[in-house]
């Protein structure tokens, strides 16, 4: 039977990519890989080393020197994976407000993206992977059989991120989150290297007011349809 070896899910920050991707991978028995954690890990490393986010050359050298690994969850604390930075568990540390403020700048650097993209592509080529990010369908895995682009308003995404932070016991201002998301959208969409955009052949799903499971159901249905069509071609 033919397999759809890779599924690409893209979209802006807090559009539901991570939650949807993890749930879909679990259903299909695929590997879940959120590529954004790699850029967050680089950003955290820069902060820890006292390297300013606007020092492109220094950040790129650091990205080439550090070791980032993404594993299955190693703790029952709500995580979808475990992220190691030079052996240190930084799964939640990369979700800090400090990292949020710098990651778009760091991820826009051509040298950093080149290093990370090569690593991401190798993981994708192993097959049976749901890969989530902002340039998966356009750059990392342009040959993916199924490409999805999730959309949601900035206000909806800010509400989601606010709830996440509150549930973790963090004190955060909704208005600050909304402003940060709008800023992040602009940086991600306007950058010269691999800007945030939907692939021409991606399936765009608007998620405002739509539950996670409903979105997963839609993608799984699309997956099954494409799988049946691929198998018909082989007959």
Helix orientation angle between 56-65 and 36-48, rounded to the nearest 10 degrees: 110
Instruction: Tell me, yes or no, whether 225 lies in a domain.
Output: no
The residues that bridge with 33 in the sheet, in sequence order, are 131
**Could you give the CA distance from residue 51 to residue 197 in angstroms, rounded to a whole number?**
29
Number of domains in the chain: 1
Structural domain boundaries enclosing 160: 6-215
pLDDT tens, position by position, for the chain (235 residues)? 457 889 999 999 889 898 999 999 999 989 898 998 999 999 999 999 999 999 999 999 999 999 998 877 899 998 888 899 999 999 999 999 899 889 989 988 999 999 999 988 988 888 888 999 988 999 999 999 999 999 999 999 999 889 888 888 888 899 999 999 999 899 888 888 788 899 999 999 999 989 999 999 999 999 999 988 887 777 6
Quote the distance between the C-alpha of residue 11 and its chain's center.
8
> Whose CA is closest to 6, among 137, 133, 117?
137
How far apart, in Å, are the Cα atoms of 109 and each of 35, 66, 105, 118?
15, 16, 7, 14
Instruction: Tell me, yes or no, whether 222 lies in a domain.
Output: no
* Local structure of residue 93 (DSSP, 8 states): G
Predicted local confidence at residue 2, as pLDDT: 52
Domain CATH number, residue 29 = 3.40.50.300
Coil, helix or strand at residue 191: coil
Instruction: Tell me, yes or no, whether 221 lies in a domain.
Output: no
| The two three-digit tokens of residue 93, written as one number | 């540390």
Predicted local confidence at residue 187, as pLDDT: 86
Instruction: Tell me, yes or no, whether 234 lies in a domain.
Output: no
Instruction: Tell me, yes or no, whether 226 lies in a domain.
Output: no
Coil, helix or strand at residue 144: coil
How far apart, in Å, are the Cα atoms of 143 and each of 34, 140, 148, 175?
18, 9, 13, 39
**Could you give the CA distance from residue 192 to residue 164 in angstroms, rounded to a whole number?**
31
Predicted local confidence at residue 199, as pLDDT: 94
Whether the Cβ atoms of residue 104 and residue 188 lie closer than 8 Å to each other: yes
Residues with Cβ within 8 Å of 169's Cβ and at least 6 positions away in sequence, in order, are: none
> Whose CA is closest to 79, among 71, 97, 91?
91
> Whose CA is closest to 153, among 8, 10, 16?
16
Place of tokens 């939907």: 198
Instruction: Tell me, yes or no, whether 220 lies in a domain.
Output: no
Instruction: Tell me, yes or no, whether 47 lies in a domain.
Output: yes
Instruction: Tell me, yes or no, whether 232 lies in a domain.
Output: no
Express the helix, strand and coil content of the chain in percent, nearest 5 each.
50, 15, 35
């Amino acid at each position: 039977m033919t397999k759809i070896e890779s599924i690409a899910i893209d979209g802006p920050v807090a559009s539901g990519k991570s939650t949807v991707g993890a749930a879909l991978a679990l259903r299909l028995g695929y590997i879940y890989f959120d590529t954004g954690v790699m850029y967050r890990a680089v950003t955290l490393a820069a902060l820890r080393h006292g390297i300013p986010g606007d020092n492109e050359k220094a950040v790129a050298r650091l990205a080439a020197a550090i070791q980032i690994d993404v594993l299955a969850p190693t703790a029952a604390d709500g995580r979808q994976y475990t992220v190691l930075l030079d052996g240190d568990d930084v799964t939640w540390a990369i979700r800090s407000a400090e990292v949020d403020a710098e990651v778009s700048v760091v991820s826009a650097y051509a040298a950093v993206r080149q290093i990370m993209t090569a690593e991401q592509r190798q993981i994708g080529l192993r097959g049976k992977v749901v890969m989530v990010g902002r340039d998966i369908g356009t750059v990392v895995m342009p040959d993916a059989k199924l490409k999805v682009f999730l959309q949601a308003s900035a206000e909806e995404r800010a509400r989601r991120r606010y709830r996440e932070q509150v549930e973790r016991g963090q004190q955060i201002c909704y208005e600050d989150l909304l402003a940060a998301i709008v800023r992040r959208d602009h940086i991600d969409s306007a950058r010269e290297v691999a800007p945030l955009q939907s692939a021409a052949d991606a399936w765009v799903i608007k998620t405002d007011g739509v539950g996670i499971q409903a979105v997963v159901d839609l993608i799984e249905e699309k997956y099954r349809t494409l799988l049946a069509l691929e198998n018909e071609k082989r007959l």
